[in-house]
Structure 1
Amino acid sequence: MKNIAKIIDINEENIDELELFCKKTKKKLVGYQNKVKWIKERFKEGLKYKLLIVKEGNKETSRGMIEYIPGEYNWRGIQANGWMVIHCLWVVGKHKKKGYGSNLLQESIKDAKKAGMHGVVGMSADKGGWLPKTKIYLNNGFEKVDEIKPYFGLFAIIFNDKAPKPKFYPISDKKVEEYRKGVHFLYSDQCPYIVDLVDELEKEFNTKNESLNAIKLKNCREAQQNGVHPYGTYCIACNGEITLYKHTTKKEILTFLNKIRVER
């Protein structure tokens, strides 16, 4: 693979020896520990987790990753049985724009072909958040197959033209109505950042004697069909307003919540 040191496959044999990418400097926190347990449970469902390893000076370190899983077991709001679904694709810092993201993406394509799947599918968001931009999919032969406005796109590279195309599960007005009053936080162990955020927020709300309804999604079906947000494993609802999943700190979340409260 051009321009790359190596890609390491994290599996049942080496996961306890090697580190994951997200929150690797905070391995003792609940988010990281829960993520490791979550991945171990997903391996039996066919999940793949691969690290981009680059050399910085005399040291090798991870500066990117990709996580994907057979569509039946995906933790996004995507209906994609028979397809490989990408959960996360990351390259950080000075290693961006060197083709590493495409190298990681090709790993998912290779594994999907080997497994005889219909193709590979992934979400994009061209504004904010943690999802890849549209460009990387288009540059690797993917096409747009669905969207949820204002800016969520679903992209697929298709091996079998006769297979049903993947699509987003619809947003349910009835489900959104359930979150019309109060603050609701949907999350899962799939993202280690969010688990630790929940703990921070609950402490903040308790100090103010306010109520936070933290809803932990316990399986892929709950994530796929959550009915309120395509990202699946993280969103916040405040008085019926659904946030865009992109908040990464307690301060950002509280700013969002205060803004909604003022407007409403």
Structure 2
Amino acid sequence: TGFFFFFCKKKSDGYQRKLRWLQARFQEGLRIKMLPLPERGFIEYIPGDYAWRPIADAGEYFFIHCLWVVGKSRGQGFARLLLDVCVEDARRSGRRGVAMITSEGNWLISRKMLESYGFKSVEQYAGDSLGPFDLMVLPFKNGKSPTFTGHLKKTVSRAAPGFTVVRSDQCPYLSDATE
């Protein structure tokens, strides 16, 4: 979702796809909070019913699509600051909590970072070639937590043998990575 770091590439396919994707998602309640310049980072989250991840029972949660801090801004506490903003927004909005999918070794934030903030793993998907993924939740109230849907497993099982790419326009870097 490094859309804001794509400003210098406004004519790129990834930028244009992300722009169209954002315009549609804002109508669903998508929120983006950016660090002030010269820092480089942002958080993108949405009401759980509209999350672009294979999850269920997340309607009362905010779901973080992307938390991204890069360059010299890393290691300065900015990810925690951005999480603070999201959590406060979720509390003010009467949400049950905040959720995010995490994984090591790819473009997602680490489980360890979310655990240090108080998130707990509520479900894991080991995956075949996809995983492992953790569904992490920071609950404010007791009740049902989000879960992975069977959709991810069905999608993977329908894929042909070999290399299959499942993507969306949510991340502008995917255009470059999948071409």
TM bucket, shorter chain: 0.7 to 0.9
Task: Check conservation: 2:54, 2:151, Cα contact below 8 A.
Answer: no
Calculate the aligned-residue CA RMSD, in Å.
2.1
Secondary structure class of the residue paired with 2:8: coil
Paired residues for 1:1-264 under 5 Å = 20-53=3-36, 60-79=37-56, 80-126=58-104, 128-149=105-126, 150-161=131-142, 163-170=143-150, 175-181=155-161, 183-198=163-178, 200=179
Letter in 1 for 2:78: Y
Q: Which runs of 5+ in 2 are unaligned?
A: none
SS of the residue corresponding to residue 135 of structure 2 reads strand
The structural deviation recorded for 1:85 is 0.3
Residues 137 and 37 (structure 1 numbering): CA distance in 2 closer, same or farther, change over 3 Å? same
Q: Which one is further off, 65-74 or 41-50?
A: 41-50
| 2:98 and 2:138 in contact (8 A); partners too | yes
With CA pairs under 8 Å and 6+ residues apart, which has the higher RCO, 1 or 2? 2
2:134 and 2:177 map into 1 onto residues whose CA distance is 26
Between the aligned partners of 1:43 and 1:84, the Cα distance in structure 2 is 14
Cα 1:62–1:38 change in 2 (3 A) is: farther
- Counterpart CA distance in 2 for 1:133 and 1:89 is 10
- Return the TM-score normalized by structure 2: 0.86
Cα distance change of structure 1 residues 122 and 41 upon mapping to structure 2, 3 Å threshold: same
Give SS of 2:165's match. strand
Question: How far does the alpha carbon of each residue in 1:190-241 deviate from its partner, in whole angstroms, 9 at most, with x for none?
Answer: 111113444x3xxxxxxxxxxxxxxxxxxxxxxxxxxxxxxxxxxxxxxxxx
State TM-score, norm by structure 1: 0.60
Gaps of at least 5 residues in structure 1 are 1-18, 54-59, 201-264
Instruction: Classify the secondary structure of the residue corresponding to 1:65.
Output: strand
| CA-CA distance at 1:172 after TM superposition | 6.1
Q: Distance in 2 between matches of 1:37 and 1:130?
A: 22
Structure number with higher strand proportion: 1
Whether the aligned pair in 1 keeps the contact of 2:39 and 2:73 (CA below 8 Å) is no
- Post-superposition Cα deviations, 1:85-136, rounded to whole Å, max 9, x if no partner, equal 000001111221111000001111111111111100011112x111001122
Is the contact between residue 42 and residue 67 of structure 2 (CA under 8 Å) also seen in structure 1? yes
| % identical aligned pairs | 40
SS at match of 1:33: helix
